[in-house]
Structure 1
């Protein structure tokens, strides 16, 4: 099945929803987090984030279901299917996210540590918003007997791990096979938000141009470094990142 225009439209819309949460999270951080009472600040900040997620997360999930219906229709699939919204992140999950990002701030943090923690929290909320659409589409594909599964679609700047997963095509059939948090932004400033998307598949899957190029390059590298082991992972990272990666590179004899 060739990729429809709705896939690109959905990706753009999801990016807009995620980006819209950033200023709201920063405002909540500025007004509700007390650096002199971090533990006491957590419930207030978590409550504000849940309100943001209730609005933007639900919008993300609803858009995901609309996207799923459009893709189903574009594939010529008829008949009704029951679609449902995924649960929003629980109070415990949101609280744990807040506690994780502010953990480096106990003691005497510097200004950079505070900026990194704040940015990590904004990234975490973006991730939770994007997860709503992903979960909606994955659950729909899992429940729909007409669906073959779903594929991972990357955006520009995706990490080597995500790009490798995307080369597998429409092999994913359950939410258990998903991992969109391999590089969640950390309080120390490392990592970043995964912006991959879930594309439902109802027939023959047409990979993106990026996925086709990545698959060809990965196959070339496996001819040099083998299909398993540390060397092929390092070679693949060096290809994607365009820089040397620490570790041995032993070509096949």
Structure 2
């Protein structure tokens, strides 16, 4: 039997969250192609939103539950204690085992349960700590706005521009409108995937207010992150004081390229909770830390970000050329 370790658990977690986002994106795009009509933007947009929102809610819930199972097991591996089950009602046990936590995690991943040689390890449950609440109405409003802006609103804006140059019986006009509709559908599908994964991301970041043992986060990117994601991953551990101060001083969630809680459309990064200054840090973050110091030596602010963007873009282009 193998041992349950932080690195393996985290990679399974990242991949599981990516699958949740990808499945929802595919579903939303399929609904867009069936439902949305650029000749009836207002009517078909409402029909499309009504069609996909139940799936958005379900995927957001899955992402949240997966993050909850992940936090419970990663906390246990790090400091030997864990949180009560997510959304538990009534009294809970005062202890569990690594094996039980691993089973819950596998269930959320839709994976077969595995046996581990450290599975019988006893883990205390910290009943005084808990989980942040979720505001489902606010999350629904955010998702509706995101889907509308990236999908129907985008088509309407470009259709109005095209209408100044063509007519509905003009083949060129119709061809351009079809292209714009396809592009907007892909954009909205990506936005839906992002909204799904925010269920888990918001849960992890919200632990700043509810889990007394958490000290910060690290960002785990996918295998080919963009310049922004790799830059944020290069920060390593971001401590809770920075994130809580940012929320209190600026509110959520204007885009800030330096903010540790920023996630763009089609981003597959996940936040990893840090419970000890000796915790495992993803090797990708350590590599990006070294590269950042070398690439941005003597630079700061926008100049440093520009140099990093150029460096990462060149690396990604080279990887694609070699595959």
What does residue 58 of structure 2 align with? 55
Q: 1: distance between equivalents of 2:296 and 2:139? A: 42
| SS of structure 2 residue aligned to 1:34 | coil
Cα distance change of structure 1 residues 39 and 178 upon mapping to structure 2, 3 Å threshold: farther
Does residue 150 (structure 1) correspond to residue 153 (structure 2)? The answer is: no
Does residue 196 (structure 1) correspond to residue 269 (structure 2)? The answer is: yes
What does residue 187 of structure 1 align with? none
Q: After superposing the two structures, state which structure 1 stretch, 123-132 or 27-36, moved more.
A: 27-36
Question: What are the Cα deviations for residues 150-184 of structure 1, in whole angstroms up to 9, with x where unaligned?
Answer: 11111122111211111212224236354333x43
Question: What are the Cα deviations for residues 103-124 of structure 1, in whole angstroms up to 9, with x where unaligned?
Answer: 3323254332122101001101
- Structural mapping, 1:136-215, within 5 Å: 136-173=203-240, 174=243, 176=247, 177-181=259-263, 183-184=264-265, 193-203=266-276, 204-215=278-289
Q: Which has the larger radius of gyration?
A: 2
Does residue 96 (structure 1) correspond to residue 145 (structure 2)? The answer is: yes
Q: 1: distance between equivalents of 2:202 and 2:70? A: 13
Q: Scaled by the length of structure 2, what TM-score is found?
A: 0.65
| SS of structure 2 residue aligned to 1:110 | helix
Q: 2: distance between equivalents of 1:235 and 1:94? A: 33
Cα distance change of structure 1 residues 33 and 165 upon mapping to structure 2, 3 Å threshold: same
Q: Is the 8 A contact 2:33 2:185 kept in 1?
A: no
| SS of structure 2 residue aligned to 1:242 | helix
Q: 1: distance between equivalents of 2:197 and 2:147? A: 18
| SS of structure 2 residue aligned to 1:117 | helix
What does residue 19 of structure 2 align with? 16
1:144, CA displacement in angstroms? Answer: 0.6
1:4, CA displacement in angstroms? Answer: 3.6
Q: Is the 8 A contact 2:57 2:196 kept in 1?
A: no
| SS of structure 1 residue aligned to 2:273 | strand
Structure 1: which 4+ aligned runs deviate by more than 6 Å?
A: none
Q: 2: distance between equivalents of 1:52 and 1:85? A: 21
What does residue 250 of structure 1 align with? none
Q: 2: distance between equivalents of 1:91 and 1:206? A: 35
Q: Scaled by the length of structure 1, what TM-score is found?
A: 0.82
1:132, CA displacement in angstroms? Answer: 0.7
Q: After superposing the two structures, state which structure 1 stretch, 97-106 or 57-66, moved more.
A: 97-106
Q: 2: distance between equivalents of 1:68 and 1:11? A: 12
Aligned-CA RMSD value = 2.2
Q: Is the 8 A contact 1:43 1:95 kept in 2?
A: no
Q: 2: distance between equivalents of 1:128 and 1:24? A: 14
